[in-house]
Structure 1
Amino acid sequence: MSNFTNFAIRYEYERIAELGDKLGEVEKLIDWEAFRPFLTGLYSNNTEKGGRPNLDEILMLKMLILQQWHGLSDPELERQANDRISFRQFLGFPDKIPDRSTIWAFRERLSLSGKDKDIWNELQRQLDAKGLTIKKGMIQDATFIHSDPGHASSDTPRGEEAKTRRSKDGTWTKKGGTSHFGFKLHAIIDREYDLIRRVCTTTASVHDSQIDLSEEGEVVYRDRGYQGAKCKGYDATMKRGARGHPIGIRDKLRNERISRKRTKGERPFAVIKSVFTSGTVRVTELGRVRVKNMFSAFSYNLYQLRTIEKQSL
């Protein structure tokens, strides 16, 4: 990119920034370079297929943030990153934008290596370093991340027996009389700062109560679906009655108190689905969905961190 072109683009961005640019604001909130050691490790193999990438690793990381923030496919991410000045500013005005194949390959390396977990842990370390440590308990909940089942019905086999790649790992389940196909994002959220602190991805048929994201010493607020499920933290789970054995007034009042404390737990999922439009996935395997869900949660934390910073001014 010529110096003149670079100057012109940056000048145009200044006009956009005056109108408000969330991406420009969140880009300054964390230390991006701290993620480089984990990403560089993806390319430790110096063979023809495993050598160093042509593009900066932090650039690739930010591309995946943009993808989940805006609910984009790989081709659309490539197009918009070339087209939108706010995207290019977030990426640091690179000379070259990664193409869709490079984006897919980078995300696949994260999935196969498990390095997405290192990225998530580094983000959590930075949140703690800002003083945003857990103080008032946690809220655990889960939400459906839908996938395309193709023409398959709920009794069509999945996995290796599936006839379509689109439905390889997704599973069917029913909630409230409505069928859902795909996956689940389980999360535990800090009540004080509304930040997602731990995540887990499963197929849709895994019951919420089978996943415990709590840690010892934490108060964990959970809805009725978790009744009877053990947790490592202090169990603040809502009670539910059984046929012929309704809950008493004390349990009803307790449920009301827990319900009020749990209301914040819906916000992260609402942002991920309504603001980021990332409530559906086009990828087909559990590992790939895990990476996408992690970046959705990562993006939400940046979104919430911006809110916290503004409130502190």
Structure 2
Amino acid sequence: MTQLGLGLDLSTKRTRKREFLDEMGRVVPWQKLIALIEPHYPKGKTGGPPFPIQTMLRIHFMQQWFSLSDPAMEEALHDIPLYREFALLGTGMTRLPDESTILRFRHLLEAHKLSARILATVNKILHDKGLTLKVGSAVDATLISAPSSTRKSGTRDPERSQTQKGRSWYFAMKAHIGVDVESRLVHTVKCTPANVHDITVAHKLLHGKEKVAFADAGYAGIEKRGKTKAVQWHVAMRPSKRRKLDKSKPLDWIYNKIERLKAGVRAKVEHPFRVLKCQFGYLKARYRGLVKNTAHIETQFALVNLWMARKALAKAK
């Protein structure tokens, strides 16, 4: 016979998920983001009263953190008390947001390009607190895999493309980012089809105030491009050329040492990608079209910045 009611107080257990939500709840600038969305939010003159903006924003962010679709988010709100608690949906609520409500909120952010403004707002707060210095940037790109076809049309997304990396082929999009080399925080995000070469987007990843920029060997020749000549570029040597260095020779030893130093700085651009893919579990593009996925990724990197700066933000308060 199954025993129930063991007298356990489940509310006292500090799970990792609860700790994560508590930390993010403290560092997200809710009031500033609410003020950003409020002019565009429906007033509820017809139909039922709309849910508070903060509730919908918290639900939207949980979708990013836990990689939940709109239907999965609706089910999670019904199944998981912790999610309802974080979304400020108290026990007295007579209804919960359904997947259509969650979808409309996401479309509202996309229609008014609020995801880019969310990233800019977060970055301004971080800069005002002295967490970004803007003296140097590192740029890089990562492939975000896309479904080979969509359920409705059965065809590939025309705004994605196929590209080769190593010996493998991918149908994907690219997320290009510019990162502050001191803080490792993302200041610029651009998305393109996978077949767009990294070097063609590089100048758009600079904020314009940096003096130096770091990049991997895929950006070789960027210093010759007119749009980025004002910046001193430090681009990694191609691996095939570096393997030919004879470290027993003084000059080659110096070249190898310089490459190691450049790699140490350039590696900081990988930290936001690690949080995006490993911490938040964002491994595959969810939506059809670059506009929707760009909005998704911009929001993701705003949250990545807050996660990476959470300890510094806690000290700054």
* TM-score category of the 2 structures, normalised to the smaller one: 0.7 to 0.9
TM-score (norm 2): 0.79
Mark the CA change 1:13 to 1:66 in structure 2 (over 3 Å): closer, same or farther.
Answer: farther
Instruction: Output aligned runs, 1:45-60, within 5 Å.
Output: 54-60=50-56
Mark the CA change 1:90 to 1:190 in structure 2 (over 3 Å): closer, same or farther.
Answer: farther
The offset of 1:189, in angstroms, is 1.8
Residue matched to 2:5: none
Tell me if the contact between 2:215 and 2:266 (Cα under 8 Å) persists in the aligned partners: yes
Task: Tell me the amino acid that sits aligned with residue 223 of structure 1.
Answer: D
Residue matched to 1:148: 147
Mark the CA change 1:39 to 1:166 in structure 2 (over 3 Å): closer, same or farther.
Answer: farther
Residue matched to 1:128: 127
Structure 2 distance, partners of 1:29, 1:16, is 22
Structure 2 distance, partners of 1:52, 1:138, is 48
Residue matched to 2:185: 195
Task: Tell me the amino acid that sits aligned with residue 80 of structure 2.
Answer: R
Mark the CA change 1:294 to 1:280 in structure 2 (over 3 Å): closer, same or farther.
Answer: same
- Point out the structure with max Rg over C-alpha: 2
Tell me if the contact between 1:13 and 1:86 (Cα under 8 Å) persists in the aligned partners: no
Structure 2 distance, partners of 1:167, 1:63, is 27
Residue matched to 2:12: 15
Structure 2 distance, partners of 1:192, 1:253, is 21
Mark the CA change 1:208 to 1:97 in structure 2 (over 3 Å): closer, same or farther.
Answer: farther
Instruction: Output aligned runs, 1:84-103, within 5 Å.
Output: 84-94=80-90, 95=93, 96-103=95-102
Mark the CA change 1:166 to 1:299 in structure 2 (over 3 Å): closer, same or farther.
Answer: farther
Structure 1 distance, partners of 2:310, 2:146, is 30
Residue matched to 1:235: 233
Structure 2 distance, partners of 1:255, 1:136, is 20
Mark the CA change 1:142 to 1:257 in structure 2 (over 3 Å): closer, same or farther.
Answer: same
The offset of 1:240, in angstroms, is 3.2
The offset of 1:163, in angstroms, is 5.6
Task: Tell me the amino acid that sits aligned with residue 39 of structure 1.
Answer: I
Structure 2 distance, partners of 1:304, 1:190, is 12
Task: Tell me the amino acid that sits aligned with residue 162 of structure 2.
Answer: W
The offset of 1:148, in angstroms, is 0.3
Instruction: Output aligned runs, 1:35-46, within 5 Å.
Output: 35-43=33-41
The offset of 1:53, in angstroms, is 7.3
Work out the number of aligned pairs and report it. Answer: 289
Q: Secondary structure in 2 aligned to 1:108? A: helix
Identity %: 26
Structure 2 distance, partners of 1:265, 1:223, is 10
Mark the CA change 1:54 to 1:311 in structure 2 (over 3 Å): closer, same or farther.
Answer: closer
Structure 1 distance, partners of 2:77, 2:44, is 29
Mark the CA change 1:150 to 1:91 in structure 2 (over 3 Å): closer, same or farther.
Answer: same
Task: Tell me the amino acid that sits aligned with residue 209 of structure 2.
Answer: E
Which structure 1 residue ranges, 5 or more long, are not aligned? 1-11, 152-161
Structure 2 distance, partners of 1:91, 1:251, is 54
Structure 2 distance, partners of 1:85, 1:176, is 45
Instruction: Output aligned runs, 1:1-313, within 5 Å.
Output: 14-17=11-14, 21-43=19-41, 54-94=50-90, 95=93, 96-134=95-133, 137-150=136-149, 164=154, 167-212=157-202, 213-214=205-206, 215-229=208-222, 230=225, 231=228, 233-240=231-238, 249=252, 251-309=255-313
Structure 1 distance, partners of 2:111, 2:255, is 46
TM-score (norm 1): 0.80
Tell me if the contact between 2:210 and 2:231 (Cα under 8 Å) persists in the aligned partners: yes
Structure 2 distance, partners of 1:311, 1:251, is 40
Tell me if the contact between 1:43 and 1:52 (Cα under 8 Å) persists in the aligned partners: no
RMSD in angstroms over aligned alpha carbons? 3.3
- Structure 1 residues 258-284: Cα deviation after superposition (integer angstroms, max 9, x where no partner): 111112221211221122111202211
Task: Tell me the amino acid that sits aligned with residue 175 of structure 1.
Answer: K
The offset of 1:41, in angstroms, is 2.8
Mark the CA change 1:16 to 1:92 in structure 2 (over 3 Å): closer, same or farther.
Answer: farther
Task: Tell me the amino acid that sits aligned with residue 77 of structure 1.
Answer: M
